[in-house]
Amino acid sequence: MRKILASTIARVTGGVLLGEDREFSEVSTDTRTLKPCALFVALHGEKRDGHEFVPDAVARGAAGVVVERFFSINVTQIVVKDTFRALQDLALYNRQKGGLKVIGITGSNGKTTTKDLVKAVLRQKYNVCATEKNYNNELGVPLTLLNFDENTEVGVVEMGMRGLGEIDALCQIARPDIGIITNIGEAHLELLKSQENIARAKSELIKNLPGDGVAIINGESPYIKDIVANIPVKKYFFGHRAGDLYIKKFFQEDDGLRFSTGGVLEEEFFLPLLGVHNAVNALAAILTALTLGVKVPLIKKGLSEVELTGMRLEIQFIGSMKIIKDYYNASPTSVEAALKVLAGTGQKGRKIAVLGEMYELGDFEITGHRRVGEVASKLGVDFLITVGPKAREIGNGAIACGMSPQNIFHFATKEEAGSFLLNFLKPEDTVLLKASRGMKFEELFATIERGWFSNGNH
């Protein structure tokens, strides 16, 4: 955070200052990660009230607290009506200081990867502060804004949502100058009921851009072009096959993806990632970089050096067996993209897809799971292992599309699947692990890794 006096914080949040008017440059809402001399904000959580941890925060070195009631402690206190609102007000104040640019990123899939790509290319020219991990909700966004300091020139803010109006609320404090919509998929159909409603929710980012703002949008996503048509900002559309910037050719290599672009920029790029969908994500980063004046050689350098947030199409070898770890989250669109990566692998052995349930699909639940199975069959996946009651429909879809039932195995739990896989997997196999976050497939991977070597494999 930029250095701010306690008296200024009290003024910004409508609070009352008690104690020393000292300066703060760090804010924390979690005593476990609190840094010495930080300002601790006591939030009301789902299970615990942050006010319970005020004494612990002081013991751990907090030099001040933002609270809703007075505490008998020997540090600066700012007493406010609502600590969560105070956190948001302070975040907005910190965002508005200085002449920095803020980029907002939303979409059904690819938000975090695109955030990583945008950060990688922009840091070649600017001092960039970006969302950590995928902290993209009503708490994560203000915490990201509070990470901006005196040296920050560009902020990259990931924005998630579960319903209409949520991105609009995030934009009120983030105030983005550039808005990126990665795609419109099936995530949140359970709540929003239709892809059109999802597109409307995502378009709130574009509606909140200033008159001189820039929108960078996946134009191949359904409904979005019509919804944003009358919003008076500069718009660039990108896509796999069409747009202001699109993919002309792509080649999956052992160490990454090489692709060429057409449209406003005709160049060749290398990306140390898997899947053409990541090349499409990179188009958004390229357009953002061009908008902010980053030269093409620096864009190429940034893309070639990108490091992704974990559990997203990571490759890890267990002996000679290749594991594709992609279990941060799952929707039909993202599972299909991962299956294409599996099908395109150059590994000699069998191609095995281990797929768990996809959540929040609502009325699309059965159709979505079956569609994934159909894609697995069409792509020639050798064996399909499904995990969880809802995932049984993946197997049904694969069978309907011609896959032999003898090549499909269903398990109610990941523990059962793990026991089976330890006896089923062979050296040289390529295995995709893909499921929604709640399935905790990292535990399944750990089971495979431990058991593989204990069984005498190399």
Binding site for ATP, by residue number, is: 107-113
**Ordered alpha helix ranges (H), 140-194:** 140-145, 166-174, 189-192
Rounded distance, CA 204 to CA 225, Å? 13
44 CB-near residues (< 8 Å, 6+ apart): 50, 83, 84
Distances (CA, A) of 424 to 27, 32, 350, 385, 388: 50, 42, 11, 11, 19
| φ, ψ at 267 (rounded to 5°) | -150, 170
Using CA atoms, how far apart are residues 210 and 229, in angstroms rounded to an integer?
16
Backbone dihedral region for residue 432 (phi beyond 0: left; psi -120 to 50: alpha; all else: beta): beta
Query: Contact at 8 Å (CB) between 357 and 382?
Result: no
Phi, psi for residue 205 in degrees, rounded to 5: -60, -45
Q: Is 308 helix (H, G, I), strand (E, B) or coil?
A: coil
CA distance 446 to 415: 11
| Three-state SS at 342 | helix
Binding residues: 107-113
Q: Which residue has the tokens 């019509």?
A: 226
